[in-house]
């Protein structure tokens, strides 16, 4: 029987020492007997998932971890999420992420109050996007519903248009910030400016009882194209994640995207559902990329204790059960964070991510725990990050 490979991602797990935790990081503080034992018997190290010239996004980092070079393949957030939603796009299209947002005023001097429009409920967001499409959609621009505030705008045959070069900031990066520079960017394209103004007027209508009062197109790029994972690595793979962009990467690489109904991207996510989906898939498939979002969200909200808990849950409810399920099989485990989301920073940083590699017969790095510190002291740094996957496969002799 061929080797089974499990790649488990704890999004945003990496962190800095925190005084409140006696100078430990959340990972070092957390009780993680599974990962510690695997680290002791396996290899730990660092992987540079974010190329120095790129922003530290989960899209960039997870693309690296899956073995694809973001410098070549990353065109924007919009295209990856479009792939995740299975949206049909043409190679010439320009695909935008379209947030439903709340601004103080959609004019110079206005500020971004909420990148999620008050977390617009999914059904209401669908109605709003359908209304925008009915009234403003046409041959050139079409509106497509996603999940809640996260939607898409397709600019048909726009891949090489001037709009492709506009530099609109991600709305979650500019909370309580003056939006004048972004409006100036929108204005460089008269048709896009007309569209966002018209959308704002529609959202001011009586049919809208949500807090969203404007649309915010950003993260645009040509459709995502990735080599087929099976052809590239010879492994039949699947992706398990609640997050559209990770699902999009998997789908674009021709991997199966497994649905787990209880997956929420928050600490209440259905870990058991994810674990069961992985075990079920590995009865016939070779490779599972299982992504857990919760540690990252805890980093963004700045909740130290919740982040410790999210990491403990990951160890106890994801790593542990999968280890037990695979104990009598020839299975290799990679465990990594995609990037750091330090509590003290509350957003992503470019620090190299930490990983551990565990498989029968592997030389071991002789550490006693899986922490930022042991990973750093191992002296192993894989860069660029898309070389991690081939490096691992060579270690596992796949
Ligand atoms: Zn994040």
Question: Residues 237-256: pLDDT tens digits?
Answer: 999 998 888 999 999 999 99
**Which of 25-29, 157-161, 318-322, 365-369 is least confident?**
365-369
Dihedral class, residue 379 (left if φ above 0, else alpha if ψ from -120 to 50, else beta): left
Determine contact, residues 230/254, Cβ cutoff 8 Å. yes
Report the C-alpha gap between 288 and 334 in whole angstroms: 10
Report the C-alpha gap between 282 and 374 in whole angstroms: 30
Distance 189 CA to ligand 1 centre (A): 30
Q: What is the pLDDT of residue 261?
A: 78
Q: What is the pLDDT of residue 243?
A: 85
Q: What is the pLDDT of residue 265?
A: 59
Distance 345 CA to ligand 1 centre (A): 11
Distance 203 CA to ligand 1 centre (A): 28
Report the C-alpha gap between 259 and 368 in whole angstroms: 36
Distance 302 CA to ligand 1 centre (A): 12
Select from 353, 319, 337, 354 the least CA-distant residue to 32. 319
For residue 170, count CB atoms less than 10 angstroms from its CB and return exposed for 0-12, middle for 13-18, buried for 19 or more: middle
**DSSP letter assigned to residue 389:** H
Band of pLDDT at residue 218, cut at 50, 70 and 90: very high
Determine contact, residues 231/68, Cβ cutoff 8 Å. no
Band of pLDDT at residue 358, cut at 50, 70 and 90: very high
| Mean pLDDT of the chain, nearest integer | 94
Q: What is the pLDDT of residue 397?
A: 82
Band of pLDDT at residue 35, cut at 50, 70 and 90: very high
Distance 293 CA to ligand 1 centre (A): 8
For range 195-210, the mean pLDDT: 96
CA atoms within 13 A on the CB side of 142: 14
Distance 348 CA to ligand 1 centre (A): 6
pLDDT for residue 398 is more than 90: no
Distance 381 CA to ligand 1 centre (A): 23
Distance 346 CA to ligand 1 centre (A): 9
Determine contact, residues 151/94, Cβ cutoff 8 Å. no
For range 360-381, the mean pLDDT: 92
Report the C-alpha gap between 244 and 396 in whole angstroms: 30
For range 201-223, the mean pLDDT: 96
For range 77-92, the mean pLDDT: 92
Distance 126 CA to ligand 1 centre (A): 24
What digits encode the pLDDT tens for the residues 258-310?
988 766 656 677 899 999 999 999 999 999 999 999 999 899 889 999 999 99
Distance 12 CA to ligand 1 centre (A): 6
Please spell the DSSP secondary structure of 215-277, one letter per residue: EEEEEEESPP----HHHHHS--EEEE-S-HHHHHHHHHTT-EE---TT--SSTT--HHHHHHH
The pTM score is 0.88
For range 319-348, the mean pLDDT: 95
The H or E element spanning position 6 is strand 4-10
Chain-centroid distance of CA 198 in Å reads 31
Report the C-alpha gap between 298 and 285 in whole angstroms: 32
Alpha helices for 85-179 (secondary structure H): 122-136
Distance 59 CA to ligand 1 centre (A): 10
Tally: H helices and E strands in the chain: 16, 13
Q: What is the pLDDT of residue 245?
A: 87
Q: What is the pLDDT of residue 1?
A: 47
All residues at 6 or more sequence positions from 288 whose CB lies less than 8 Å from its CB, including other chains: 5, 6, 7, 237, 238, 239, 240, 278, 281, 282
């Amino acid at each position: 029987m061929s080797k089974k490979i499990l790649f488990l991602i704890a999004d945003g797990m990496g962190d800095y020492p925190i005084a409140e935790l006696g100078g430990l990081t959340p990972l070092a503080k957390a009780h993680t007997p599974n990962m510690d034992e695997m680290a002791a018997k396996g290899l730990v190290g660092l992987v540079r998932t974010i190329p120095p010239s790129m922003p530290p996004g989960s899209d960039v980092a997870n693309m690296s971890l899956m073995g694809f070079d973001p410098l070549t393949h990353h065109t924007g957030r919009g295209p990856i999420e479009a792939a995740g939603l299975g949206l049909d796009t043409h190679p010439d299209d320009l695909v935008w992420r379209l947030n439903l947002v709340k601004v103080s005023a959609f004019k110079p001097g206005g500020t971004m109050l909420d990148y999620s429009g008050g977390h617009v409920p999914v059904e209401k967001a669908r109605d709003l996007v359908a209304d925008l499409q009915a009234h403003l959609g046409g041959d050139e621009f079409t509106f497509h519903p996603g999940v809640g505030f996260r939607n898409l705008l397709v600019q048909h045959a726009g891949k090489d248009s001037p709009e492709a070069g506009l530099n609109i900031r991600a709305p979650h990066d500019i909370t309580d910030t003056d939006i004048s520079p972004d409006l100036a960017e929108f204005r460089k394209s008269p048709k896009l400016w007309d569209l966002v103004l018209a959308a704002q007027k529609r959202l001011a209508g009586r049919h809208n009882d949500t807090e969203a009062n404007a649309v915010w197109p950003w993260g645009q790029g040509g459709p995502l194209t990735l080599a087929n994972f099976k052809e590239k690595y010879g492994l039949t793979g699947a992706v398990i994640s609640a997050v559209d962009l990770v699902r999009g990467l998997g789908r674009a690489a021709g991997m199966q995207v497994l649905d787990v109904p209880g997956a929420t991207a928050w600490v209440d996510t259905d870990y058991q559902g994810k674990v069961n989906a992985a075990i079920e898939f590995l009865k016939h498939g070779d490779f599972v990329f299982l992504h857990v979002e919760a540690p990252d969200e805890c980093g963004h909200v700045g909740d130290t204790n919740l982040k410790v808990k999210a990491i403990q849950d990951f160890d106890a409810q994801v790593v542990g059960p999968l280890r037990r399920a695979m104990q009598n099989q020839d299975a290799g485990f990679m465990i990594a964070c995609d990037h750091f989301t330090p509590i003290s920073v509350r957003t992503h940083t470019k620090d190299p991510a930490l990983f551990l590699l565990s498989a029968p017969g592997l030389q071991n790095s002789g550490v006693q725990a899986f922490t930022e510190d042991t990973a750093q002291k191992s002296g192993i740094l894989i860069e660029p990050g898309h070389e991690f996957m081939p490096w691992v496969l060579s270690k596992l002799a796949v």
